[in-house]
Amino acid sequence: MNEQIIRARAEQRYQVELVQLIATDSGARPSGWQLSASAVKRFICGDKQHNISRKYYGDDALVERAIVSLMGNNGLMMVGEPGTAKSMLSELLAAAISGTSELLIQGTAGTTEEQVKYSWNFAMLLANGPSFDALLKSPIYTAMEQGKLVRIEEITRCPQEIQDVLISLMSEKTLTIPELGIAIQAKPGFNVIATANLLDRGVNEMSSALKRRFNFETVPVLNDVKLEQELILSQVNARFINEAQQPQINEELVQLLVQVFHDLRNNLGAQSLDATLSTAEAVNIVHSCALHSLYWHQPMSAEQLVQQMHGTLIKDKPDDIKKLAHYLDAVVRERKEWRAFFDAGKALWMK
E strand or H helix at 104: strand 104-106
Exposure string over 19-37, b if 16+ CB within 10 A, otherwise e:
ebbeeebeeebbebbbbbb
Q: Where are the domains of the chain?
A: 10-218, 225-349
Ranges of beta strands (E only) in 232-346 are none
- Was domain 10-218 assigned CATH 3.40.50.300? yes
| Vertex 180 angle, CA 178 and 182, to 5° | 70
Residue 29: predicted pLDDT: 97
| Vertex 341 angle, CA 338 and 343, to 5° | 110
Residue 1: predicted pLDDT: 45
Distance between CA 230 and CA 42 in Å, rounded?
18
Q: Please indicate, yes or no, whether the overall pTM of this predicted structure exceeds 0.75.
A: yes
Distance between CA 110 and CA 93 in Å, rounded?
27
Residue 144: predicted pLDDT: 98
Judge whether 233 and 282 are in contact, CB under 8 Å. Answer: no
Distance between CA 216 and CA 7 in Å, rounded?
29
Distance between CA 103 and CA 141 in Å, rounded?
10
Chunked into runs of 10 residues, the chain (351 residues) has average pLDDT values of 77 96 96 98 96 94 97 95 92 98 95 95 93 96 98 93 92 95 96 89 80 95 91 92 86 96 87 84 95 94 95 81 92 95 93 72
